[in-house]
Amino acid sequence: MKKVYIETYGCQMNVADTEVVFSILGAHGYVRTESIDEADVIMANTCSIRDNAEQRILGRIGQFVLQRKSRPVIIGILGCMAERMKEQLLSDGRVDLVAGPDAYRRLPQLLEAASEGHPQIDVILSREETYADINPVRIDKGGVSAFISIMRGCNNVCSYCVVPYTRGVERSRDARTIVREACDCFERGYREVTLLGQNVDSYNFEGVSFAKLLEMVAGVSPQLRVRFSTSNPQDISDEVLETMAAHPNICRHIHLPVQSGSDRILEKMRRRYSAAWYLERVAKIRELMPDCAITTDVIAGFCSETEEDHQLTLDLFEKVGFDAAFMFAYSERPGTLAARKYPDDVPQDVKVRRLNEIIALQNRLSLESNRRDVGKEFEVLVEGPSKRSADELCGRTGSNKMCVWADTAHKPGDYVRVRVLDCTQATLLCELVG
């Protein structure tokens, strides 16, 4: 039996893909190891979203190669960097195998050929592949929350984004296989599933819309929480919001990446909405679900961004009062529309300063959001012991806020009721109720 070690970088979709890879390899006599020192095959499932993500992984390959001193090891690059850099990754002889996101079914053959000393590459993107029939081998340790991939690829061409090039065209997975996977998770003790896609609102499988799919998965059990990511502001429909509102087990949390608060920048980014449209969607969400958390992604210093544009982003953050945000400095990606059309002309120090201003503002907004929860009660899904103490448990609210409370009686996968006594910017400090 050959032992396979995989490091996963980037988004939740990559975690789901690594689970598919372990399943495919498991059916061909490979076993998973979490120790790099005993692996016969070492792979990185990679991310190309920003240059620093790629640089980190390229540095890591150097450490993988050191393992060859003690034994023969196959080194493989999977995922988005495989797709973006292709043969380049094979050029210095350190990597034996390069496989893009749609090539995982062929990994057993590729690994066999690579082990005979022939470097292998498969970066062909598919219009159909969804790995619908593959039963993923879960890699998270908790056994409470699972990712379920519902679609692959992306048909939006946001001008900054490399994903359409690395993951290909959009395709939706057979709804029946998604519901089956959710049932299977529930039967094995999972109590939360997150439905994943680059743009979940454009899910469509033989007439089953995303709203319908949400309803089907929510119907698996009232004890199964359903989350989803990611929604695009131009596509999130009232039907989806109404479906959420009608099902208490669909978590009150929407991740709605805004990217910028300036209409001029949004247009250059090729986002198909305005700041006013975004604010209208936020108002609709809050009208239907006043307790719904809204989180976002934002990019500081996109091509031609002025101080006025940046101020509009800060203003929008203030108006929405996001519960949390992922915040990035713009990183030009080769081959994207922005790289071809617009100069990357905001100086690095200006990007960093603007990013830091957004982070400082969001830190305050996150704290304010948590303070509003002090005194309230929530149903929390237990994840496990808290980081601080063995006598404390941690788990999340439906709005995805981390709670800790003193408790030695419950176990991961239980639902408990807590009251919030105090908070930090990152955590709700609670007590058990009842």
Q: How far is CA 46 from the centre of its chain?
A: 13
Coil, helix or strand at residue 69 = helix
Let me know the angle formed at the C-alpha of 95 by 91 and 97, rounded to the nearest 5 degrees. 105
Q: Which is nearer to ligand SF4, 13 or 289 (CB)?
A: 13
Sole binder of ligand 5AD in the list 22, 104, 330, 378 (CB under 6 A): 330
Q: Which is nearer to ligand SF4, 202 or 237 (CB)?
A: 202
Query: Which residues are at the interface with ligand SF4 (CB under 6 A)?
Result: 10-11, 13-14, 47-49, 79-80, 162-163, 166-167
Name the closest residue to ligand 5AD (Cβ).
Answer: 297
d(CA 62, CA 303): 33
* Contact residues for 182 (Cβ-Cβ < 8 A; gap 6+): 148, 193, 217, 220, 224, 226
* Bridge partners, 297 (sequence order): 326
* Listed ranges 60-68, 171-179, 280-288, 324-332: which one lies at the site for ligand 5AD (CB under 6 A): 324-332
Q: Smallest distance, Å, CB 299 to ligand 5AD? A: 5
Sole binder of ligand 5AD in the list 328, 351, 383, 420 (CB under 6 A): 328
* 414 sits near ligand 5AD (criterion: CB under 6 A): no
* Listed ranges 126-134, 329-337, 367-375, 409-417: which one lies at the site for ligand 5AD (CB under 6 A): 329-337
Residue that has been written with the tokens 């304010």 in this structure: 368
Q: Smallest distance, Å, CB 13 to ligand SF4? A: 5
Identity of residue 319: K
Q: Are 68 and 101 in contact (CB under 8 A)?
A: no
Q: Which is nearer to ligand 5AD, 257 or 413 (CB)?
A: 257
Binding at 297: pick from ligand SF4, ligand 5AD, none (beta carbon under 5-8 Å per type): ligand 5AD
Query: What's the sign of the alpha-carbon dihedral 308, 309, 312, 314?
Result: negative
Q: Smallest distance, Å, CB 425 to ligand 5AD? A: 21
DSSP state of 259: B
Coil, helix or strand at residue 65 = helix
Q: Binders of ligand 5AD among 248-277, rule CB under 6 A?
A: 257, 259
Q: Which two tokens stand for residue 311?
A: 């101020």
Sole binder of ligand 5AD in the list 333, 354, 396, 401 (CB under 6 A): 333
Q: Which is nearer to ligand 5AD, 293 or 355 (CB)?
A: 355
Q: Which two tokens stand for residue 265?
A: 């920048």
* Listed ranges 212-220, 325-333, 369-377, 403-411: which one lies at the site for ligand 5AD (CB under 6 A): 325-333
Binding at 104: pick from ligand 5AD, ligand SF4, none (beta carbon under 5-8 Å per type): none
* 50 sits near ligand 5AD (criterion: CB under 6 A): yes
Query: What's the sign of the alpha-carbon dihedral 109, 113, 118, 119?
Result: positive
Binding at 379: pick from ligand SF4, ligand 5AD, none (beta carbon under 5-8 Å per type): none
* 49 sits near ligand 5AD (criterion: CB under 6 A): yes
Name the closest residue to ligand SF4 (Cβ).
Answer: 10
Residue 115: φ, ψ to 5°: -70, -15
Q: How far is CA 372 from the centre of its chain?
A: 27
Binding at 257: pick from ligand SF4, ligand 5AD, none (beta carbon under 5-8 Å per type): ligand 5AD
Report, in angstroms and rounded to the nearest whole number, the Rg of the chain calculated over CA atoms. Answer: 22
Query: What are the E-state strand segments in 154-279?
Result: 171-172, 192-196, 204-205, 208-209, 225-229, 253-255
d(CA 344, CA 177): 43
Binding at 13: pick from ligand SF4, ligand 5AD, none (beta carbon under 5-8 Å per type): ligand SF4
Binding at 278: pick from ligand SF4, ligand 5AD, none (beta carbon under 5-8 Å per type): none
Q: Are 41 and 3 in contact (CB under 8 A)?
A: yes
Q: Which is nearer to ligand SF4, 13 or 285 (CB)?
A: 13
Q: Which is nearer to ligand SF4, 47 or 211 (CB)?
A: 47
* 160 sits near ligand 5AD (criterion: CB under 6 A): yes
Tell me the Ramachandran region of residue 181: left when phi exceeds 0, alpha when psi lies from -120 to 50, beta otherwise: alpha
DSSP state of 420: E
Q: Are 155 and 179 in contact (CB under 8 A)?
A: no
Q: Which is nearer to ligand SF4, 168 or 301 (CB)?
A: 168
CA distances from 381 to 164, 214, 215, 386, 404 (A): 35, 20, 21, 13, 11
Binding at 351: pick from ligand 5AD, ligand SF4, none (beta carbon under 5-8 Å per type): none
* 165 sits near ligand 5AD (criterion: CB under 6 A): no
Positions in the binding site for ligand 5AD (CB under 6 A):
49-50, 160-161, 257, 259, 297, 299, 328, 330-331, 333
